[in-house]
Chains A and B, each alone.
Chain A
Amino acid sequence: KAGVTQTPRYLIKTRGQQVTLSCSPISGHRSVSWYQQTPGQGLQFLFEYFSETQRNKGNFPGRFSGRQFSNSRSEMNVSTLELGDSALYLCASSPEGRRVNTEAFFGQGTRLTVV
């Protein structure tokens, strides 16, 4: 079974630009969550999508948005990039069940650098 695939792996953008990151979950998984990892802050939850609907949302500004397609693939978008948005963005997929956000399987992440 293929794992979670995130593209691209590395990205360099300029302040003010916008960026779209992609995540393909494990086949059969319908829940996709996005996290931002920065040094000293651990993994900060961005949002979770389940069956094309945003089900949970973290405390990030509206510049961060996402969506999920009917095949469960998900994209996240960051508009008007700031230097502080430089981070590793991780996507995780989870199987169905009462605890859809536990034992999440992570992708390798997209390293975004804003210059």
Chain B
Amino acid sequence: DQQVKQNSPSLSVQEGRISILNCDYTNSMFDYFLWYKKYPAEGPTFLISISSIKDKNEDGRFTVFLNKSAKHLSLHIVPSQPGDSAVYFCAASAGAQKLVFGQGTRLTINP
């Protein structure tokens, strides 16, 4: 049972444009959501998070949007840079429970 789904295995975006990565979840008990970025041969690194009491959180070029009614969150990267090319994982948790991760989306930024 995949409680967190990233339906796009890959995404290709031109440098300078907006990258939008999407994530859907099924568990209504999730109240905290995170995005992680992973380069090859490295562990995931925390990028940005959002609590269920908010619908938007911004950190520099990165913005996460949460739509609780649709059980959907998205990560916007503006403007996209070559160094943003990586695999992005969304994750969710309920209270102090484990983090549940999606399958990941491979983002490629083209010059």
Which residues from A are CB-within-8-Å of B102?
42
Q: Are A45 and B98 closer than 8 Å at their CB atoms?
A: yes
CB–CB A42/B89 < 8 A:
yes
Interface residues in A, total, Cβ within 8 A? 26
Asked if A58 meets B46 with Cβ closer than 8 Å, knowing A40-B103, A99-B93, A108-B41, the reply is no
Is the Cβ of A101 less than 8 Å from the Cβ of B43? no
B78 at interface, CB cutoff 8 A: no
Q: Is A83 an interface residue (CB 8 A)?
A: no
Is B107 on the interface with A (CB-CB < 8 A)?
no
Interface pair A101/B44, CB less than 8 Å apart? no
Cα A89 to Cα B102 with chains together (Å) = 16
Bound Cα distance from A2 to B56, whole angstroms: 32
**Residues B21-57 near A (CB distance < 8 A):** 32, 34, 36, 41-46, 49
A107-B103 in contact given A42-B89, A43-B89, A98-B96 (Cβ < 8 Å): no
Spell out B's residues near A (CB within 8 Å). 4, 6, 9, 32, 34, 36, 41-46, 49, 89, 91, 93, 95-104
